[in-house]
């Protein structure tokens, strides 16, 4: 490329960056200048063709068309590009031994059923029963009583309740840590499932030979006064998908032992599971202070 061509390209970038100089909000000014620089670098680095530009516009248009109040394809795009996980990483700096955060995902629903300590959040969802226990503490090891623990997960068929057309509420619930910061409840053993892949993001994954599968996980959101809200999952040690999670959500510290208990193994609370096998997992949650 000639020096004259390089200069023309660089001058254009500079002019567009400078067009944001008068933005009154300093943060918006910073965001728009930086976005412009990165987008222009991309176009120049890959020598984007006009046909590729048109295909990109068509892809984004299709992403918009499939998005409604039940389906958010732009967030899915951000997820598979690792942008959601990078945003989580930037915004949840490590603090002592506080539990690491991961992606929120699109399947949280407000107003989940309250369950008692030892209760069952499965709500009839298909799956092997799983006994989940643990504690909520702060980073100095002090118990956090009364923490609100929201839990949600996919059923054995790989679907969240909100993905069904009926109004079922299943495999989600909330409870509060007890006076010692402890919690225990029945859920179902997490199994792998694909993120929605019947739209533009699914076509992108197929074209790039990537799988839509997520490693098996159980979602948690934990809130307590004065504490940083923790949005995370726990993953199943030994799951074959841990290294290829489609949204890059796995962190080593969140991989837990789900111990398999054959039919007939006595349950921790004496519950009769009618001869079914079950599993158990322990998860100690450490919350960072809200403003360290």
Contacting residues toward Fe ion, per CB under 5 A = 105
Tell me which residue of 105, 101, 151 sits closest to 130, measured CA to CA. 151
- What minimum distance in Å lies between the beta carbon of 140 and ligand BEZ? 31
Question: What distances in angstroms separate CA 262 from CA 28, 117, 275, one per listed residue?
Answer: 57, 24, 9
**Residue 105 interacts with ligand BEZ (CB under 6 A)?**
yes
By CB under 6 A, residue 74 contacts ligand BEZ: no
Q: How far is the CB of 222 from ligand BEZ (least distance, A)?
A: 16
d(CA 3, CA 212): 44
Please report how close the Cβ of residue 154 comes to ligand BEZ at its closest, in angstroms.
7
Using CB under 6 A, count the residues that bind ligand BEZ: 9
Report if residue 79 touches ligand BEZ, rule: CB under 6 A: yes
Instruction: Work out what residue 222 binds among Fe ion, ligand BEZ, none; the CB cut-off runs from 5 to 8 Å by kind.
Output: none
Closest by CA to 218, choosing from 142, 125, 147, 145, is 125
Residue facing Fe ion at closest CB distance: 105
Query: Could you tell me if 256 and 189 are in contact, meaning their C-beta atoms sit under 8 angstroms apart?
Result: no
Q: By CB under 6 A, tell whether 214 contacts ligand BEZ.
A: yes
SS3 content of the chain, % helix, strand, coil (to 5): 30, 20, 50
240 in helix, strand or coil? coil
**Is residue 195 at the binding interface for ligand BEZ, with CB under 6 A as the rule?**
yes
Interface with ligand BEZ (CB under 6 A): 76, 79, 103, 105-107, 195, 214, 247
């Amino acid at each position: 490329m000639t020096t004259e061509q390089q200069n023309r390209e660089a001058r254009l970038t500079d002019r567009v960056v400078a067009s944001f100089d008068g933005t009154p909000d300093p943060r918006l000014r910073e965001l728009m200048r930086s976005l412009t620089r990165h987008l222009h670098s991309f176009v120049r680095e890959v020598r984007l063709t006009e046909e590729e530009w048109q295909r990109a516009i068509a892809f984004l248009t299709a992403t918009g068309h499939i998005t409604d109040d039940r389906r958010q394809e732009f967030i899915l795009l951000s997820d598979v590009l690792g942008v959601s996980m990078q945003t989580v990483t930037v915004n949840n700096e490590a603090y002592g031994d506080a539990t690491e955060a991961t992606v929120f995902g699109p399947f949280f629903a407000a107003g989940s059923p309250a369950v008692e300590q030892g209760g069952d959040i499965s709500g009839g969802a298909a799956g092997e029963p799983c006994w989940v226990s643990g504690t909520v503490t702060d980073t100095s090891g002090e118990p956090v009583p009364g923490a609100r623990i929201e839990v949600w997960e996919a059923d054995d068929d790989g679907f969240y309740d909100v993905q069904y057309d009926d109004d079922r509420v299943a495999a989600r619930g909330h409870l509060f840590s007890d006076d010692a910061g402890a919690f225990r409840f029945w859920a179902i053993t997490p199994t792998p499932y694909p993120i929605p892949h019947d739209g533009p993001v699914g076509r992108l994954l197929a074209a790039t030979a990537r799988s839509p599968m997520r490693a098996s996980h159980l979602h948690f959101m934990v809130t307590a006064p004065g504490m940083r809200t923790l949005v995370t999952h726990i993953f199943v040690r030994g799951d074959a998908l841990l290294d290829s999670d489609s949204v890059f959500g796995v962190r080593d510290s969140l991989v837990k032992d789900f111990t398999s208990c054959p039919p007939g193994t006595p349950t921790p609370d004496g519950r009769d599971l009618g001869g079914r096998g079950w599993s158990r997992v322990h998860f100690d949650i450490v919350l960072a202070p809200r403003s360290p």
